[in-house]
Amino acid sequence: AKENQGNTYEFYNYKMSEQMDKNIEIEHKLKHALEKREFILHYQPKVDIKTNKITGLEALVRWKCPEKGLIYPNNFIPVAEETGLIKKLDEHILELSCLQIKEWINEGLNPPNISINISGKTFYENDFLDRLESILEDTEVSYESISIEITETAAMKDKKYTYKILEQIRSKGIKILLDDFGKGYSSLSYLKDFPIDVLKIDKSFVDNICYNNIDSSITRAIIDMAKALKLKVLAEGVETEEQLRLLDNFSCEEYQGYLFSKPLPVEKIEIMLTKNTEK
Ligand code: C2E
Ligand code: CA
Ligand code: CA
Ligand code: CA
């Protein structure tokens, strides 16, 4: 038995170091990709339910890997978070978004507000606010041009700290979206005077609103509560007309989802933006 335990121990040890080797390898590749500027952004429109007009864009990162093609964030963001590379990556994405806004302005396009996803890891770095400010100053983009998306779960890790930082960010004119809302199961009372602008209802609720009474009740309750707190509500992951109609009935104001558009590369989103202003 003793020998077996020894083997088991060694086996786990081996497995663990194998995973660690893998992460070190991915970390190395991500670092290289950052240096080579292989990350690009796709943009998904946010849409006003009543007017069907684009009200903003969400920047979503993709890795344009020369060997493997386009890699989606679920395949590298978690490793970037584990290895601490996420800070550099998020800052890079922030910069790319600002440069894109500037380019669109120079081209005479009137770009809508762009929201950027910030990992909880990055948000809790003590120089996040400084970095945010210097990126906006360096790229000469106004604070009102961008928004920050932070997940409910990340925001709840340290409410006091989050409150303080979000308030400072918001005082500059940057809007705050609470992402994946409803998934964190946090108590709702804290929202009463939390410095945020928009609740993004998590896709997992939207997925089932047409079939599941509980999910539709929760969605309706979130929207009603947001209204009472004078927050905007945006539903994410809307794929069908039925979902949209129900959300409209619930007085949800904005949505995102494949029904209107998938996240699109720059060239395609430019065409869409041109049409949006013509109409
Ligand atoms: P998220 O912030 O909740 O973004 C929404 C995800 O749902 C996106 O996946 C989007 O493409 C997808 N989506 C939007 N509408 C629909 C729909 O109607 N149906 C379905 N099935 N999916 C839809 P994506 O781009 O693969 O991003 C996944 C996650 O990776 C994001 O979830 C976010 O947590 C993270 N992420 C993406 N870009 C960044 C980034 O620049 N920085 C950080 N820190 N995280 C990012
Ligand atoms: Ca998001
Ligand atoms: Ca989300
Ligand atoms: Ca989500």
* pLDDT higher than 70, residue 279: no
pTM for the full predicted model:
0.93
Residue nearest to atom 4 of ligand 1 (CA): 60
- In this prediction, residue 7 carries a pLDDT of 61
Whether residue 72 has its Cβ less than 6 Å from ligand 1: yes
Q: What's the mean per-residue pLDDT of the chain?
A: 92
CA–CA separation, 29 and 42 (whole Å): 21
Q: Which residue has the higher pLDDT, 192 or 35?
A: 35
- 61 Cβ closer than 6 Å to some ligand 1 atom: yes
Determine the average pLDDT of the residues in 225-253.
Answer: 97
Task: Say how many Å lie between the CA of residue 43 and the centre of ligand 4.
Answer: 15
User: What pLDDT is recorded for position 10?
Assistant: 64
Q: Is 136 in the pocket of ligand 1 (CB under 6 A)?
A: no
Strands (E), 204-253: 232-235
pLDDT band at residue 269, thresholds of 50, 70 and 90? Answer: very high
Q: pLDDT tens across 169-211, in order?
A: 999 999 999 999 998 877 777 888 899 999 999 999 999 999 9
Amino acid 177: pLDDT: 98
Determine the average pLDDT of the residues in 7-22: 70
Give residues with Cβ within 8 angstroms of 214, minimum separation 6.
none
CB 147 less than 6 A from any atom of ligand 1: no
Q: Provide the 3-class DSSP secondary structure of residue 232.
A: strand
39 alpha carbon, closest ligand = 1
